[in-house]
A and B are shown apart, each in its own frame.
Chain A
Amino acid sequence: MSGYFRVRYMQDVALLDTRTQKAWFAVFLVFLLAYPFLANALWLDLANQVLLASVGAVALMLLTGYAGQISLGHAGLLAAGAFTAGILFKEFGAPFWVTLPASAAVGALLGLAFGLPSLRLRGLYLAVSTLALHFIVIHAGAEYETRRGYSTGIVIESPIYDARHWYFALLAAAAATVLFSLNLLRSRTGRAWRAIHGREAVAEALGISVPRAKLTAFVVSSAITAMAGCLFAYFRGFVSVEAFSLYLTIQYVAMIIIGGMGSILGAILGTVFVVLFPYTIDAAMDGLGLAGRFSSVIFAVNYAAFGLAMILFLVFEPQGLVGIWRRARNWFLLWPFKQRPAR
């Protein structure tokens, strides 16, 4: 008898089951811990950006990729978290340990507000209502900035200065988010989300309270997103509404689309792709010797290339990067003894 058999229930729910998986995970862990000592300043900064963005991307994946609720208000939620942190810091001098839970609470409340339309609306109309809420949150932030005279933005002093310390803080945040999401998805709540994604009427018939599942999806996702916004505020040391444009929402949505819907791994791969994309474009322009010609409009090149990449993924690879990864893995599963299907 050979092969891997699950004989106990604990083995069935384990996140890592085979010895190979554990070995690879250990290698990956060592790499993650050693990374800040190997990388130079630029690559360390890029890693920090990826880790920070991955928190928000995983949160959006929970909502859109698993629970199937479309949201175009992600930048608004990030802004809400960042502004909560900024306002508490500026008005009351609150420390990080106060602002982070406060951001989460504000995010959860806003998630409830974002989620309420989802009880009546679906698909397109839901996307539109979250888009409208985005504009309202941003307007409230801008209003605060002008009323209090911080028209250029709020400056926040971060308790962490060193990029390497930031790396470990953000790594912890990202790892906590991923672990929390993976565990939540295997619980009753997560299964309910997948069920309402599949078909709401059937989910209801199976005894799932659809309104409750939808609202929990919005509340959990928004709370995590707002915490990501709070981290963003500290990481940048600066909060301003300009940072939370509709383009940011599009970037986050692109992360989960490009990464592949319905997969936490996909959210992370997509984050890596989207965060590194502008730098890749920069490098490519340098390599082609076009950097001088387009230096003043480099952001336009980025826009165009990003739009093109998104279109290409939507049209040719709807499964996203994770689909490519799975195909590659399956191809190597039997390699080099690939069986051809009999004709």
Chain B
Amino acid sequence: MQLAVNILVLASIYALIACGYVLIYRVSRVLSLAHGELMMLGAYGLYATASLFSGHPWIAIGAAVGLAAAVGVAVYLALMWRMTGESVLAAVLATIALGILLRGAMILAFGTQTQHPLRDLGWQNASLDLGGARISAVALTLVISTVVVYGALALFLRASRWGIRMRAAGQHPLLAAQRGIGLHGIYALAWGLATLTGGLAGMLIAADAGLESTLVIIGLKAFPAALVGGLDSLVGALAGSLIIAAAEVLLIHYVDPLLSEVVPFVVLLVMLVIRPWGLFGTREELDRV
């Protein structure tokens, strides 16, 4: 039972992060390897607003979430729009470079010691009993917010005008542009949403386990989850996160705790050999010669 809860919590962490990778890739065909750092920036945003609006935790959380979305839009406007039309490698490298820049800047701005944003908000992380298994209140919030985020995203992409535009831009940018969809606006929105969800994940993980540099590694480990499920499918991201989390938790429990770093990547490699486009992804033109 405890194992199942652990898998569920880890899967929601991965899923909440992975939807950022999926959103950006689905809309603009760019893989953002700076997602872990952007996530951490979101968590530091909460840390900053928590001390700014001390005594008003809800205002602080709202401000931090808004800040995360603004950072995503700013990243697109400042850097990534220049990379449209460049080669895949150039765009990926630009995000890697951005990640390094952000990591350095965050250490300069916030120092290296572990922070506890939850304490700064003035809340306690209670431990709840859930039919024989223990789960912390923040972890429960994380599971719930993952469900809410995925529900909201599905609704947004299916029903809202902007969501439909987003899907159109992802399917065929040229045709979408000819129908009068402003691609830059759509891409900026995708970056904003991706950073918002990633930032949310960062805030919740930081609230649960403290805010330190390992957050970036969690962000990188969520990326196999997105790829296993299929880089352009939200359902796939959920499924991939469950698979990766289950493999990781079970192998750590039954085989060797040292495996945690490497398991997601082994699963990823197996998937790439068998079915490169992922479980639910659209099969891209991997024209074989």
Contacts and interface: CB of A to CB of B under 8 A. Distances in A.
Interface in B231-278: 258-259, 261-262, 265-266, 268-269, 272-273, 276
State the majority secondary structure of interface residues on A. helix
B108 A310 contact: no
A146 B90 CA distance: 37
B129 interface: no
A132 B108 contact: no
Given A201-B289, A303-B107, A306-B100, A257 B262 contact: no
Contacts, number: 130
A125 B288 CA distance: 13
Given A139-B262, A210-B289, A315 B93 contact: no
Interface stretch (B81-89, B135-143, B182-190): B81-89
A124 interface: yes
Contacts of A129: 268-269, 272
Interface stretch (A11-19, A115-123, A178-186, A327-335): A115-123
Interface stretch (A50-58, A90-98, A166-174, A294-302): A294-302
B227 to A, nearest CB: 6
B107 A300 contact: yes
A117 B90 contact: no
Contact of A314 (B90, B227, B287): B90
Interface residues of B, number: 43
Contacts of A133: 269
B286 A120 contact: yes
B94 A311 contact: yes
Contacts of B170: none
B101 A303 contact: yes
A300 B287 CA distance: 42
Contacts of B92: 124, 127
Contact of A132 (B83, B272, B289): B272
A127 B89 contact: yes
Contact of B288 (A64, A120, A203): A120
- Top 6 A-B residue pairs of the complex, sorted by shortest distance between their CB atoms: A307-B101, A304-B104, A303-B104, A307-B100, A300-B107, A310-B97
9 contacts: A117-B269, A120-B276, A132-B266, A200-B287, A257-B93, A294-B108, A297-B111, A300-B103, A318-B86
